């Protein structure tokens, strides 16, 4: 029996993709080997990696000015690579702090010798909203934001249209959940373990001209040019994770029908859950401001906090798992990533209704 998986990440993957991975585990593409056993220099793996890049390019509508890199180290390594490459010692870079991960990125920039400054923050209200006003530096090396915040359940409704420096962004928890207008961005990255595949792969989209402005003389694995110039094959990349991502991208293209349709499905799932929360007469209470709510991560509390533990215990007995809030804030969080079906959200709502009737 497969549970209804609401985990914040590693997260649910399409069942058809998992079944394909299982079927090909011992013999991939009639090679007589698992893909985990084949050299990354082989023509089969090189072709698969190139195809995966093209799938990303096609789904997002990226032009030739963009390079696609497959990195390791998670999104957290990007927190350091960005300032090392583009800020350098004492370089001013602006950060919009909307939660835990943006806070970590800001602190990492300090450790790397940059001079990060806060252009805006929503810490004054426990990161429950996305700022609308910004105090940007005159000419920052870059402006950093986290597009979707898994911990507090907020998402940028729109990105700044005019900025004094290039935008860079952590898109980990909403990557490939909707079309993206990257006009003002120079670099975006995403850990795979939310909507794309297993942990171990980080996808970086970087404008080639921006990559060329990076500091020279860095260790090779910390230099974006290394990935661009070597098609992410400077060392052994996370081949299995790239392969799974390849299958997920094909699922998005062929089964879902592209990112416009994926966004519509995700909005329907989110509306189903938010509408029930908002009409529960206060028994359930959303924690993010209405104008900043995330369709990916729905965070809420019960009116009686003492009921949250039994809520989670009873939900698990009914096959609803991964509903605990992030360890830093507690509460309830339902992550509605791409592969989670609408009927699974409806199953959660039905359980929430029964729990409310019993305990309200």
* Burial category of 328 from C-beta neighbours within 10 Å (exposed 0-12, middle 13-18, buried 19 and up): exposed
Strands (E), 126-224: 143-146, 148-149, 154-155, 167-170, 185-191, 202-207
Q: Which of 28, 66, 94, 101 is catalytic?
A: 101
Which strands, in side-by-side order, build the sheet including 202-207? 66-71, 202-207, 185-191, 167-170, 143-146, 92-97, 115-121
Alpha-carbon gap, residue 181 to 243, rounded angstroms? 26
Q: What is the DSSP string of 308-350?
A: HHHHHHHHHHTTEE--BPPTTT-SEEEE--TTS-HHHHHHHHH
Q: Which of 141, 194, 250, 269 is catalytic?
A: 194
The answer to whether the beta carbons of residues 345 and 272 sit under 8 Å apart is yes
Q: Which of 141, 170, 223, 251 is catalytic?
A: 170
Report H helices in the chain: 15-23, 43-60, 74-86, 100-111, 208-212, 224-229, 239-250, 259-278, 308-317, 342-359
Bridge partner list, 191:
202
Reply yes or no on whether 101 is catalytic: yes
Residues with Cβ within 8 Å of residue 283, at least 6 apart in sequence:
302, 303, 356, 360
Residues with Cβ within 8 Å of residue 76, at least 6 apart in sequence:
104, 108
Alpha-carbon gap, residue 146 to 131, rounded angstroms? 12
Reply yes or no on whether 317 is catalytic: no
Alpha-carbon gap, residue 55 to 132, rounded angstroms? 34
Residues carrying an active site annotation: 101, 170, 194
């Amino acid at each position: 029996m497969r549970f209804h998986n609401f985990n914040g990440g590693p997260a649910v993957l399409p069942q058809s993709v998992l079944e394909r991975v299982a079927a090909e585990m011992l013999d991939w593409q009639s090679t007589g080997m698992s893909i985990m056993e084949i050299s990354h220099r082989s023509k089969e793996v090189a072709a698969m990696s190139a195809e995966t890049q093209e799938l990303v390019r096609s789904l997002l509508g990226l032009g030739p000015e963009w390079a696609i890199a497959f990195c390791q180290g998670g999104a957290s390594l990007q927190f350091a690579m960005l300032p090392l490459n583009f800020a350098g010692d004492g370089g001013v870079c602006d950060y919009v702090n909307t939660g835990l991960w943006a806070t970590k990125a800001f602190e990492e920039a300090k450790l790397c010798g940059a001079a990060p400054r806060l252009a805006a923050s929503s810490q004054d209200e426990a990161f429950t909203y996305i700022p609308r006003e910004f105090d940007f530096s005159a000419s920052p090396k870059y402006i950093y934001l986290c597009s979707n915040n898994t911990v507090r359940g907020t998402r940028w409704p729109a990105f700044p249209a005019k900025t004094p420096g290039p935008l860079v962004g952590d898109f980990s928890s909403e990557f490939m959940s909707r079309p993206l207008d990257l006009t003002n961005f120079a670099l975006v990255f995403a850990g795979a373990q939310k909507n794309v595949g297993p942990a171990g792969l980080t996808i970086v989209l970087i404008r080639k001209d921006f990559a060329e402005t990076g500091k020279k003389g860095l260790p090779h694995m910390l230099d974006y040019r290394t990935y661009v110039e070597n098609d992410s094959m400077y060392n052994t990349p996370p081949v299995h994770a790239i392969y799974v991502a390849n299958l997920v991208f094909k699922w998005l293209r062929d089964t879902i029908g592209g990112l416009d349709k994926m966004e519509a499905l995700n909005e329907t799932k989110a509306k189903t859950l938010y509408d029930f929360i908002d009409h529960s007469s206060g028994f359930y209470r959303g924690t993010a401001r209405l104008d900043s709510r995330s369709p990916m991560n729905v965070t809420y509390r019960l009116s009686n906090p003492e009921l949250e533990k039994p809520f989670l215990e009873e939900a698990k007995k009914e096959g609803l798992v991964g509903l605990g809030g992030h360890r830093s804030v507690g509460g309830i969080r339902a992550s509605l990533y791409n592969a989670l079906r609408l009927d699974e959200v409806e199953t959660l709502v039905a359980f929430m209704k029964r729990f409310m009737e019993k305990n309200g």
